[in-house]
Structure 1
Amino acid sequence: MTEYRWLLPAVLHGDLVGERSPTRRSARDWGVDIVVFVVAALMGLAAALAMHPVSSLPPAVVLADQVIGAAACALLWLRRRWPVGLALVMVPAALASGTAAGAVAVALFTVAVHRPFRTVAVVTGLHIAVLAPQLWWRPDPEVSFWGAMAFSVLSYLLLVMWGMFVRARRQLVLSLRERAERAEVEAELRVERARHLERERIAREMHDVLAHRLSLLSVHAGALEYRPDIPRDDLVRTAGVIRTGAHQALQDLREVIGVLRLGGEETTPDRPQPTLADLEGLVEESRTAGMEVTLDMRVAEPGRAPAALGRNVYRITQEGLTNARKHATAARVDVTVRGGPGDGLTVEIGNPTTAGQAIPGSGTGLIGLTERAELVGGRLAYGVDDQGRFRLNAWLPWAA
């Protein structure tokens, strides 16, 4: 019996291999249990009636047989809490009582449904082991011993196979349900991640596009604030520049929204996007705002650069000029663009770090530029060199 010692703690606690029987019955469970009890009682009654005419046992033994059978049927109400314990109790009941056959079948079926194969094999083996003394104790006069033995063993095996099939089907349904729930959760996580990435993309584009325009507006508005006595013509011109800058900022905002709605780098937005050939216009805007900017364009034909490449170079230069305007207002800014097909494009922006009054910044623009460059397979570096100048250097690939 040493190989069955592992069963004892599970029987005492009503639990095996991580499965715990329910402590509360639902309305459906009550209905099933009532039907099972009635079927087991009818089977026991039929066995008692069939045994009565041919029984040669004393009346006291027959009465004890019926009492044990009734008790076995009553114990079926415990099959959900202690299925293995009930099946083990049914072993001596099956040996002592023929009317307990229905309760024994229900207990064995319950174990097959609720417990793994190892447990079912042990319990079924114990019940088969008591068949021989049971049939010898109560032989059927119309059937031979071996015939009755074969029929009983086959009945037990079919009952157990049916129970294991029910268990496998329940596990399959549970697995499919868990898989569906997990897929639903994963889909929600993917949607949430997509929303998060879209928010980051919108924030990056908004910063790259609007920071330049708003910094220009800040410079012109600051001039009006500190010089309220400027001539009327200069005042009108400055106000016109502010109005034009605000209008351009709105146009840039519409462009960004158009690109984001289309959601692809290869699509064409509603409005034309900036290209490499538009760098001169960007530099001229900064010069109009009072900055000293030099542009050294060393690309033979800027108009032949791919649209995505030209747009990224434009945004990087735009952010570099915006940072220079914030942190080195009166300093000279040098912009150099060089390269070509096969070699890639290199953008260098440099300016001193000690001149002018800085507009507060968070540094997220440079982080966004680094991500923009890395997304297209390029690289970007920035920092202060040995001469005290802040330098921004970016390289973007240009296919041959």
Structure 2
Amino acid sequence: MTEYRWLLPSVLLGDGQDGRTVRRSTRDWFVDIVIFALCAFGTLALLGELQASGTRVSDFEQLLAALACVAVWLRRRWPVGLCLVLTVITTYFILAGPPAAVALFTVAVHRAFNVSGPILLLNLLTVLPSAQLRPDPTLPFWVNVGITEAALLAIFAWGMVVRARRQLVWSLRAQADKAAEEARRLERERIAREMHDVLAHRISILSLHAGALEFRPDAPAEEISRAAGAIRGSAHQALQDLREVIGVLRAGDAEEPTPERPQPTLDDLPGLVAECRQAGMRVELEVEAGEVPERVGRDAYRIVQEALTNARKHAPEVPVSISVGGVAGQGLGIRVRNRLPARAGRGMGIPGSGSGLIGLTERASLLGGRLSYGPTPGGEFEVEAWLPWKT
């Protein structure tokens, strides 16, 4: 949010963090030049009015008023100190009134009320001795005091309004930045989940074929060639998926969103099962569902994919049965079962993060469904899910 630092009510020239100096922007230079010109014009106009009313203005007071106008350039670096000095000066030298008003406005804009409030009170209190020491011959004492204090209150209120507006703009922009950052974080998490599902599936198939070559080095040349081709194809597809996600992550801060590759749906389940059968798994698939919504179909595909990946890891030689069915309005049910291995340690030894099924549970919950997994009393491992399917 550094590009919005000028909006912060406490950030002034010299208020940079870690001792760094905040430099004036082009906008700051323009505003300061205009304010300096207004101070000079207001001081000259006040001088002419005082002289026209017969009030004597000394050369020292004119010099002091000129220096006060020049000191306005310091209002960004030392707003409180400048306002205090000019407040004391204007107690007697009223020609410095315009720069003092600018200093009060600056404090109201750039400092919290616990700082600007006492300074306003000091300004209001100094009006009484100023009106007594330098009375206006054209106005009664209390009228002069009332007009001056009303002017100070109006200037201070204007500064508070400007401060409130800047705080609101800064807050809205900060919230927008936070929302954009949160959206980028969620998108990266979604990509990470997708890549976990895809790469775990690809690498488990690759490991299955490699394990077959390791334990059957005397297999026929045709079978070895087919397994090597499957390894090559799985590795190539895994690398392609990895390049795609890296490209998306690198383009995450670009203005134009990177188009996503086509996502799998429920219609792609037969292809997934065929790929697993080619890798040597025994898989039975039963689908009794019509045209399901795209997101429901994608999540159902990912659930089946992760369940098959776990089956390859922990029970590669055990048959797996998959049943998917449902109707619109009642939801889509998914059940993946396989017998638990006869003895522990018969899996392929593929390392896993342990977060695959947890991630699928979160995916189902986000969609409004549910997912459970674990061994059954019948000696099977079951992954069961229900996803809402609205009409």
Same structural fold, with TM-score higher than 0.5 when normalized by the shorter chain: yes
- In the other structure, the counterpart of 2:94 is 98
Does 1:379 pair with 2:364?
Answer: no
For residues 48-63 of structure 1, the aligned pairs below 5 Å read 48-55=47-54, 62-63=58-59
- SS of equivalent to 1:100: helix
Q: Which runs of 5+ in 1 are unaligned?
A: 1-16, 225-237, 287-294, 325-333, 382-391
- SS of equivalent to 1:350: coil
- In the other structure, the counterpart of 1:396 is 383
- In the other structure, the counterpart of 1:223 is 218
Counterpart Cα distance in 1 of 2:34 and 2:271: 77
Counterpart Cα distance in 1 of 2:270 and 2:338: 25
2:350 maps to which of 351, 363, 370: 363
- SS of equivalent to 1:68: helix
C-alpha deviation, 1:269, in angstroms: 0.7
Q: Which has the higher contact order (CA 8 A, sep 6+)?
A: 2
Query: CA separation of 1:393/1:106 partners in 2, compared to 1, >3 Å: closer, same or farther?
Result: same
Query: CA separation of 1:108/1:20 partners in 2, compared to 1, >3 Å: closer, same or farther?
Result: same
- In the other structure, the counterpart of 1:241 is 223
- In the other structure, the counterpart of 1:232 is none
> TM-score normalised to the size of structure 1?
0.63
C-alpha deviation, 1:116, in angstroms: 1.0
Contact residue 64 and residue 96 of structure 2 kept, 8 A: yes
Contact residue 68 and residue 100 of structure 1 kept, 8 A: yes
1:128 maps to which of 124, 130, 144: 124
Query: CA separation of 1:78/1:246 partners in 2, compared to 1, >3 Å: closer, same or farther?
Result: closer
Counterpart Cα distance in 1 of 2:320 and 2:33: 89
C-alpha deviation, 1:205, in angstroms: 1.0
Counterpart Cα distance in 2 of 1:46 and 1:336: 94
C-alpha deviation, 1:210, in angstroms: 3.5
Identity %, equivalent residues:
26
C-alpha deviation, 1:131, in angstroms: 1.3
C-alpha deviation, 1:97, in angstroms: 1.2
C-alpha deviation, 1:109, in angstroms: 1.0
Over aligned residue pairs, what C-alpha RMSD do you find? 4.6
1:347 maps to which of 294, 313, 338: 338
Contact residue 206 and residue 234 of structure 2 kept, 8 A: yes
- In the other structure, the counterpart of 2:183 is 187
C-alpha deviation, 1:18, in angstroms: 6.1
Q: Which moved more, 1:130-139 or 1:211-220?
A: 211-220
> TM-score normalised to the size of structure 2?
0.64
Counterpart Cα distance in 2 of 1:29 and 1:314: 63
Counterpart Cα distance in 2 of 1:81 and 1:366: 55
Counterpart Cα distance in 1 of 2:64 and 2:353: 86
C-alpha deviation, 1:345, in angstroms: 7.1
C-alpha deviation, 1:51, in angstroms: 1.4
Q: Which runs of 5+ in 2 are unaligned?
A: 1-8, 15-20, 242-259, 290-299, 326-332, 365-369, 387-391
List per-residue Cα deviations over 1:17-67 (Å, max 9, x = no partner): 96554354344433433332232222222222211243365xxx6334323
The amino acid of 2:351's aligned partner reads T
The amino acid of 2:81's aligned partner reads G
Larger Rg: 1
Counterpart Cα distance in 2 of 1:27 and 1:335: 73
Count of residue pairs the alignment pairs up: 325
Counterpart Cα distance in 2 of 1:175 and 1:373: 36
Query: CA separation of 1:393/1:316 partners in 2, compared to 1, >3 Å: closer, same or farther?
Result: farther
- SS of equivalent to 1:87: helix
- SS of equivalent to 1:99: helix
Query: CA separation of 1:42/1:204 partners in 2, compared to 1, >3 Å: closer, same or farther?
Result: same
Contact residue 282 and residue 318 of structure 1 kept, 8 A: no
- In the other structure, the counterpart of 1:4 is none
C-alpha deviation, 1:204, in angstroms: 1.5
C-alpha deviation, 1:107, in angstroms: 1.0
C-alpha deviation, 1:142, in angstroms: 2.7
C-alpha deviation, 1:158, in angstroms: 1.3
